[in-house]
Structure 1
Amino acid sequence: MPYEPPPELATLSLAQIAELVESRKLPPLDSWSPADQGDSEMRIAADGRWFHQGGEIRRPAMVRAFASLLTRDPEGQHWLVTPVQKLSIAVEDAAFIAVDVRQDGDALAFRLNTDDLVIAGPDHPIHVRGDADNPAIYLSVRHGTEARLNRSTWAQLAEIALAGDGTSVSSQGQSFPLLPA
């Protein structure tokens, strides 16, 4: 069955986005404890491109499949996890890139470079690194992984903040500052 990407965020209501998020069947990584560990010889570049043994993985379906197996441990190491194997993967910055955001009431919905949809809130907080001159904004995705907002998504989020108090955004009752502490 061919992959059908979700519609553009601007055409979806929050209820439709929540339904798409809920309907995505992801592997149960938390229940897998493979004994076999190794190196995947894979790397995710800071711009979100995936590489294997130096060559770029150009098939979006492959990237999407690998991304569904991605986790990050408390030490910051990313892993591709299957029921039988746990393979390290090098990640230059964040595993995902947030490429679009949409505000619907008190919710912010993000689209990632893998077509995943994430609604910011207590389970998916937004946080800032860097300094006031060079802030970097991240969204928690799943299993410890993060998405860095690209420039246009950062600008969209800044517009949302400027329509409010100018320094923060809120989603699902949670407030997120957009300036480094």
Structure 2
Amino acid sequence: MPYEPPPELAALSLGEVAELVAARKLPPVSQWSPEAVGDSEMRIAADGRWFHQGGEIKRAAMVRAFASLLMRDEDGQHWLVTPSQKLSIDVDDAAFIAIDVKQEDGALAFRLNTDDLVIADAEHPIRAEGDPDTPALYLGVRGGTEARLNRSTYGQLAEIALAGGDLSVTSRGTCFSLRPA
């Protein structure tokens, strides 16, 4: 069955985003504890491109498949996890890039470079890093992984915050500061 990406974020209601998020069947990587541990020889660049043994993985379907197997441990190491193997993967910054945001009904929905949809909330927090001159915003995705907001999405979120009169945003009842600590 060919992959059909979700419609543009602007065309979706918050309810439709929530339905698509709930319908996405992801592997239960947090439940797997494989004994075989190794190195995937893969890297995710800061711009979201994936590489294997130095060559770029250009097939979006492969990137989506690998991304569904990602997790990050408490030490910050990213892993590709299957029932039989746990392979380290180098991540320059964040495993995903948030490429769009939409505000509706007190919630913020994000689209990632892998076509994943994430609604910010207590389980998917927004955090600010860096300093006032070079800030960076991140969104919790799943399994400890994060998405860094790209420049345009950062700008969209800043406009939402400024419209509220503060440098913070609220999504599903949780307030997130956009100021680096």
TM-score (norm 2): 0.99
Equivalent residue for 1:174? 174
CA distance, structure 1, for counterparts of residue 97 and residue 147 of structure 2: 5
Letter in 2 for 1:114: T
Q: CA deviation at 1:31?
A: 1.1
CA distance, structure 2, for counterparts of residue 79 and residue 167 of structure 1: 34
CA deviations on 1:122-166 (whole Å, 9 max, x unpaired) are 110000100011110000000000000000000000010011023
Q: CA deviation at 1:103?
A: 0.2
Letter in 2 for 1:65: A
Equivalent residue for 1:160? 160
Equivalent residue for 2:143? 143
Equivalent residue for 1:45? 45
Identity of aligned residues (%): 74
Letter in 1 for 2:58: R
Equivalent residue for 1:25? 25
When the two chains are superposed, the root-mean-square deviation of aligned CA atoms in Å is: 0.5
Equivalent residue for 2:116? 116
Runs of 4+ aligned structure 1 residues displaced above 3 Å come to none
Q: Could you tell me which runs of 5 or more consecutive residues in structure 1 were left unpaired when the two chains were aligned.
A: none
Letter in 2 for 1:28: P
Equivalent residue for 1:15? 15
CA distance, structure 2, for counterparts of residue 31 and residue 90 of structure 1: 22
CA distance, structure 2, for counterparts of residue 25 and residue 165 of structure 1: 38
Number of residue pairs aligned between Structure 1 and Structure 2: 181
Equivalent residue for 1:79? 79
Q: CA deviation at 1:105?
A: 1.6
